[in-house]
Amino acid sequence: MADLIYQPITQLAAALDAKQISAVELTQAVIARTKAVNGRLNAFNSFDEADALAQAGASDARRAAGQGRGALDGIPVGLKDVIAVQGQPLTASSRMLAKFVSPYDATVTQQLKRAGAVLWGRLNCDEFAMGSSTENSAFGPAVNPWDLTRVPGGSSGGSAAALAAGTTVATLGSDTGGSIRQPAAFCGLVGLKPTYGLVSRFGLVAFASSLDQIGPFARTVEDAAIVLGAIAGHDERDSTSYRATIPNYRAELGGRRGPWKLGIPKEYFAAGLDPEIGAAVERAIAFYRSQGCEVKPVSLPHTQYCLDTYYIIATAEASSNLARYDGIRYGHRAAQASDLVDLYARSRAEGFGAEVKRRIILGTYVLSSGYYDAYYLRAQKVRTLIREDFLRAYQEVDALLTPTSPIPAFKIGEKSDPLAMYLCDIYTIGVNLAGLPALSVPCGFTSGGLPIGMQLIGQPFNESGLLAIAQAYERAHDWHTRHPSL
C-alpha cells in the first residue's frame, strides 16, 4: 500500500487504465491510510467512506463500459473545508458553521466530478482560512507529518498534511496571502496559486474576495498541471471570473523548454531569511544558471509595504464578508439573548475564534467613518503600486524566483504573537495583492529534515510557462520523491 498511496496521478491513472488496480482498491487504500494516521495528524475534519467508495465504484463502471472518462477518473482528491460539496459538511473549521451541511456544489467541485475525481474528505484549515499554521481551527491544529511537533502551515494546512502523509492523491486549498504555497513548502509539496480569476470562487467560503483563489496541492508539477486543467475556466456565477481559453496545461509542459530569463528580487533575500533556506534557494538559482537561463537581480521597491497593505485590505473584506454570520439565517445561534442586537453579539462572540474576531475588528476599524480614506483607500492605491512593480519586472524577465517562506515549519504554539505569525507570509502576500500566479516547489531539506520550498512567480495567466520552469527544476532533482515516515 505504501507504494500505491505515494504514486503521482500520472502513474495511478495509467495503472487504472491498464486495470492493474481499480478505483475502489485505490480509494480503499487511501481510506485505510487515513484511518491509520489521521489520529496523529488531524488533517481531516470529516470524511464519508461510503460516499467515496460509491464514487470509486462509478468510476470503475465507466471504465468497464468503455465510456469517456475525465483526466482524474478514479483519483481521490481531498478538499479544504471551505469549498462546498453538496450533502457534505462545510465548516470552515469554525464553531460558527460546525453543524452546517452544504446544499450545493462549488464550481470547482462540479468540475472535479466531471473529471471523474473521487472526492475524499473535508480538510482542516485555519478558521475561515485566517492564519498561517492551522492552529486557529476550532477542531484543533493539524500536524506536519515530517515532524509531529510542528505545524503544516496555513491556512490550508490540512490539505498539505493529508497529501504529504499519503491519505489522498491530490488536494485543493485556497490562497489569500500564501495559504497554498506556504503549507506546500512546509510539507514538501507542489502548491499552485493560479492567477486571480482563472479558477471560479463560486462555492468558496469567502475570506477576502479580491485576494482569494482556489488552487491545487500535488506531488509533482505535472500533477498540478492536471488538476489545474480540471478546475480552471470561466464561470458566470463568479463576477470576477476571467474569460480565457484554457490550454492543456499538461500537454504544454512538453513544449516549453527555455532557457528563461529569471529575476531575483533583492527584497526577498534580506534579513530574517533562514540561512539554510537561503542556501537551498541559491543552489536552485545556480541550477537554472547552469541550464543556460539568464538570471538577473530585479527590484520590487514597494515590497516593504506589502504586509501593511495586505492586512488592511484583507481584514476590511473579511469584516464585510463575515457580517452574514449573524445567528439568523444559518450558522451558530446563541441559545439565550435578550433582544436582536444581543442575539447578534452573543452568536458572533460564541461562534468566532480569537483570530477571526481580531481581523473583523481591524477590518471594521479601517472601513469606519473618518478612517476609510486614511487606511483602506490608501492601501488600495499602494496595492496598485505593488502590482506595477511586478509588471515592470516582467518587462525584463519571464518569472521571478524567491524563497516561499523565510523560515521552515515551526513548532506548534511557538508563535503566539500575531505579528510574528503574520511575518511568515512576507514572501507570498505580494502575489495575491498583484493577482499573479505563483507556485512553491520542493528545493531541499534543512539539517533537521524539514522541507524547503522555493517560489516561482509568473506573469498573469501564463500558468503554462510557470509550470514548465518549475518542472525543469523538478526533473533534475528528487526532493519531491521523498516522503515522511509515519
Q: Which of 22, 80, 156, 200 is catalytic?
A: 80
Determine if residue 463 is left, alpha or beta; phi over 0 gives left, psi from -120 to 50 gives alpha, anything else beta: alpha
The verdict on whether 155 is a catalytic residue reads: yes
Cα 216 from Cα 218, distance rounded (Å): 6
Cα 484 from Cα 186, distance rounded (Å): 12
Q: Which of 155, 200, 405, 464 is catalytic?
A: 155
The C-alpha cell that represents 213 in the structure block:
483563489
Whether cis (ω within 30° of 0) applies to the bond prior to 442 is no
Cα 13 from Cα 306, distance rounded (Å): 41
Cβ contacts of 430 within 8 Å, gap of 6 or more: 300, 303, 306, 386, 390
Cβ contacts of 390 within 8 Å, gap of 6 or more: 300, 400, 430, 434, 436, 457
Name the helix (H) or strand (E) containing 213.
none
The verdict on whether 338 is a catalytic residue reads: no
What's CA 485's distance to the chain center, in Å?
Answer: 23
The verdict on whether 80 is a catalytic residue reads: yes
Cβ contacts of 55 within 8 Å, gap of 6 or more: 27, 118, 119
Q: Which of 93, 132, 174, 179 is catalytic?
A: 179
310 CB burial (10 A radius; 0-12, 13-18, 19+): buried
- Residue positions annotated with a catalytic role: 80, 155, 179
